[in-house]
Structure 1
Amino acid sequence: MKVTVDEDRCCGAGQCVMLAPDVFDQREDDGIVVLLEAEPDAAHHTAVREAADVCPAAAITVHEDS
């Protein structure tokens, strides 16, 4: 799995950080998403998919391994 984020789309809701704090964080000044791990371990895959699904701005894209 590879994860990308679109900081320009992010609205700072923080759902991703709550669901996958080892993969996502937020900037202190404006709450915009910070990607900590672009290729997370398999243990985080379910949480990352859920974070992408619930992101209100659709700022997270998950690229599955082929």
Structure 2
Amino acid sequence: MKKLLFGIVIGMLAGLWMGANLGKGQAIWENPFQDNSLQGRLERSQRDLGEAFKDGADAIRDAVK
């Protein structure tokens, strides 16, 4: 009986975690408490874009050598 109750509690917590992420349009395993505001998304995309430009510049330098 204890195992069943433990399984139900763990299942509910995992379902709540994943359901909150699906409701916000995020990946299932991401942190549901992260900043999902427009400013937070812009900061993350700016970081990703900067890394992409850096990788692209390195690839061009390597190709030109």
Please, what TM-score do these two structures have when normalized by structure 2?
A: 0.23
Q: Which structure has the larger Rg over C-alpha atoms?
A: 2
The structure richer in strand per residue is: 1
The structure richer in helix per residue is: 2
Bigger RCO (CA 8 Å, 6+ sep): 1
